[in-house]
Amino acid sequence: MAEIKHLNSLHRTDKQLSVSILFEGKEGVTRSLYLKKDGLLPEHTTAIPAVLLCVTGKVTYEDEKGCQVVLEPGNFQNIEPNIKHWVKSFEDSQLLLMK
C-alpha cells in the first residue's frame, strides 16, 4: 500500500511563510504554500498565468490593478502575468499555486 502524505508534512509551521514544490511536471509546477496568521507573501510578479487555490484558512489576494479578493477553502484566483500581487493571511492558511 502506498504511503499517504499530507500537506502539513511539507512545511515548517514555525515560519511565517513556507513554500514547497508539491508537483513538478514537464509543462508546469504546483507549489504548496503555508502562511501563518497575519503572514504575508510579499509583492511579486509571475511571468506566466497562475491559479491560487485556498485549501485551508483565509487569505486576501491583492494586486496592483486594485483587485482585492478574500479566499477561503475551495476559492481560487486567477493571476495574470506581469501584474504585481501579494497575499495576506487572516489565519493559518494552506494554498496551492499552479503554474
All domains in the chain, ordered by first residue = 30-98 (2.60.120.10)
- pTM over cut 0.85: yes
| Percent of the residues in the chain that have a pLDDT greater than 70, as a whole number | 100
**Cell 511536471 belongs to residue:** 25
Other beta carbons within 10 Å of 66: 6
Confidence check: pLDDT of 2 > 90: no
Give the whole-angstrom CA distance, residue 59 versus residue 63: 13
Q: What is the pLDDT of residues 20-67, one digit of tens each?
A: 999 999 989 999 999 999 999 999 999 999 999 999 999 999 999 999
Distances from the Cα of 30 to the Cα of 17, 20, 37, 67, 79, angstroms: 16, 9, 22, 23, 14
